[in-house]
Amino acid sequence: MTLYNICHGRYNCTELTRLLSYEVPRTAQLRAVRRRRLFAAPGSNTNAGLRAPLRRMVDDYNTFFLGIDIFSSSHSKYKQEVLRILNNTNE
């Protein structure tokens, strides 16, 4: 939910918003053969950098929640979808 709030400007922190990077494909595809990542994970040379909170949020979204549109979903709808996916993976 924190990543959702960052994307929707609910935190008054431009430094945090500036850290988000988006994946932009080089060419447009007529049909999606596979899902593309939405966010680009920042690179890191250390294990601590790999475990940084923003990087983990971006990686988790790209891995588990890519089917949910983070920009057009309402807060409650996004939260419901995240909880549904989390409940399905725990079973």
pTM of the model: 0.79
For residues 40 and 55, what is the distance between their CA atoms, to the nearest angstrom?
Answer: 9
Q: Kindly tell me if the per-residue pLDDT of 67 is higher than 60.
A: yes
Q: Which tokens in the block code for residue 26?
A: 């080089």
> What is the residue extent of each domain of the chain?
2-90
The CA-atom distances, in angstroms, between 74 and each of 26, 51, 80 are 29, 28, 10
DSSP-derived secondary structure letter, 21: E
Q: What is the pLDDT of residue 31?
A: 59
Q: What is the pLDDT of residue 33?
A: 57
DSSP code string of 4-52 = HHHHTT-S--HHHHHT-EE---SS--SS-SSPPPSEEPPP-SSHHHHT-
